[in-house]
Chains A and B, each alone.
Chain A
Amino acid sequence: MTTTTTTPEAGKPRRTRRGGGVMSSSGLYLATGLAAVLFLVPFYILIRNAFSTDPEITGENWKFFPTHIQWGNITEPFRDVTVDFGQSMVNSLIVAVLHTAGTLFVCSLAGYGLARIPYRHANKVFYGVLFTLMVPTAVTFVPSFVLVSSLGWVDSYRGLIIPGLFTGFTCFLFRQYFLGFPKELEEAARVDGLGYWGAYWRVVVPNSLNFFAAIATITFINGWNSFLWPLVIGQDPSAWTVQVALSSYMTNQTVNYHLIFMATAISILPLLFVFLFLQRWLVQGIAQTGIKG
């Protein structure tokens, strides 16, 4: 600790610590490259199988690439009669988008209210939100299902989306963020005659888009990938999300390898898009929020 005071003066010939260490540069790249190859193997298998024929996948000898790329495989999951894959993609898209929009809407409003609007009992309300952080929603899926089924929401978008919107953790994150939002901006808006509501939509939200984007990215990924709740709610195949549809492939009597791998590849596409174009916000979101499981 005390050694920090011996900071060398600027301009010293600096050898960056990257240069040395236990590993030489080539060793470093070798290790990283090896790990990267291992991490990419599952993706390679996914793509290989998706564009192969079944005999190529199940053949005696391992084929590294399909002899002829089977472009026709792309449409096959959509033509399959046993599982309505197209419908499940549509369901997932609707659910994930509305889940994201709804979560951002209710949680950000509440987070702002808790952080910035003076109210005598705000403390008590905040405790009520904090308490729910202790109980992961996954653990309470049985009672939640009981409630939602008695509302008659089984097999409906309402049942898939609405119960998941009220995450104490997201509300908490927004509150923490808004606590650090510059007061001057709001005060300027108030001077201009805007109330809390007006100031929120005209000044606070437009100046917080980075944070909203970060939370939105994480929320979308969680919504798209969630499985337990859609499995419980989607009793009828028409209400399956894509994850539930994929899961059903694994227990089917007959296995069409190329078909189910193509379906899996297609199911990952939307998130790949998110990764390629929104990675900045995603990384920021993870680092900033301190994470969600």
Chain B
Amino acid sequence: MSTTTTRGLAGPAPAEASPARPRRGLRGSSTFNFWLFTSPFLIGLIVFVYVPIGWSVYLSFFEARFTVTPSDFVGLGNYREILTDSNFTGSLVTFTVFALFIVPTTWALSLGLALLVNRLRFMRAFFRSVFFLPTACSYVAASLIWKMSIFNGVRFGLANTVLGLFGVDNTAWLADPSPPWYWLVIVTARLWLQSGFYMILFLAALQNIPRELYEAAAIDGARRGLQTFWYITLPQLRATSTAVILLLIVAAYQAFDEFFNLLSKTTWGRPPLVELYYTALGQDQNYGKGSAGAVILTLLICLVTLFQGRIMGFGRGEDSK
């Protein structure tokens, strides 16, 4: 099966080619050295990645509450249960709404910041650092600042203070799902945290655009600004944009920290991982149902990452860089 991969997927030279110098004994053999180098990682990978995946598939077919060695086989019962559970399907809807908000806004903001910073002549490093600084914050720390101060529902929260200047009454940003102001809190927090990171990617890509393209465009009479942006910058950034969007989707899919902390004790706005957390580790400790949920989520994310892998060329070997 693997012998059909003639695309130079793995780097090492063909096995027939002996190493630089014919070696003596076991310690010199490349097979021995291959395993010497890779086995610590591979053993860990099997124990902590492959075994859990396999175990969760196994558990998902059993009735397993408070136990991880169940004996009560229920077939697809857990899957039926979780797929008809409105909380679980609702969490997929929550993820979709979240992704629809956060992916385009982060893309636009990080690209916008990169364009601004890229054009600066003075204090460029300073501004880059400022936009990048939130990356040092954890999602928990940001959640705390957002929940306890900026979007605190009482009068001394910053948002309510500012709105109060215009005579607007206090808003319960997080404690009330209608109207769903909590989305504003969640989206701004993540926007603040991750935009600087993606800005760095866009900056690197912007600097890779050949200067000649702009000079040529100027000669052809293209107006600076919107025209060159539309016909040169944006097309040149296509690969980075695609990568960023896919990364953003995968990151949104795994969102947990800010939802868990900002919306603790509430029943609304639970994305998939938070829902899974309460299913498997909450009151019920329903490992069977939780595992079924994990398998479903894994299959869904596999679709996205497979697509991502195809576009970004993961594993294409040497020429992918």
Q: Which residues of A contact B (CB under 8 A)?
A: 3-4, 6-8, 14-15, 17-18, 20-23, 28-29, 31-32, 35-36, 39-43, 45-46, 49, 57-60, 62, 105-107, 109-110, 112-130, 132-147, 149-150, 162-163, 165-166, 168, 171-172, 175-176, 178-180, 187, 190-191, 195-197, 200, 221, 224-225, 227-228, 231-232, 243, 246-247, 249-251, 255, 257, 260-261, 264, 267-268, 271-272, 274-275, 279, 283, 286-287, 290-291, 293
Contacts and interface: CB of A to CB of B under 8 A. Distances in A.
B133 interface: yes
Contact of B11 (A7, A59, A179): A179
Interface in B235-290: 243, 247, 250-251, 253-254, 256-257, 260-261, 264-265, 273, 276-277, 280-281, 287, 290
Contacts of A172: 314-315
Contacts of A228: 256-257, 273, 277
B17 to A, nearest CB: 7
B225 A45 contact: no
B136 A123 contact: no
Interface string B107-128: 0000001001101110000010
Contacts of B51: 147
A272 B224 contact: no
Given A135-B302, A172-B314, 20 more contacts: A8-B219, A110-B37, A118-B12, A118-B15, A132-B50, A135-B301, A141-B276, A142-B290, A143-B56, A146-B59, A179-B11, A179-B317, A179-B318, A190-B20, A190-B21, A197-B33, A249-B144, A251-B264, A257-B148, A272-B136
Contacts of A32: 116-117, 120, 127
Interface string B281-321: 10000010011011001100110011001001011011011
Contacts of B264: 250-251
Interface stretch (B84-92, B98-106, B175-183, B208-216): B208-216
Given A20-B224, A134-B301, A140-B298, A166 B68 contact: no
* Interface of B (DSSP majority class): helix
B71 interface: no
B294 A143 contact: yes
Interface in B168-201: 192, 196-197, 200-201
Contacts of A134: 301-302, 305-306, 309
A290 to B, nearest CB: 7
Given A18-B119, A22-B226, A118 B13 contact: yes
A4 to B, nearest CB: 5
Contacts of A107: 41
A38 to B, nearest CB: 9
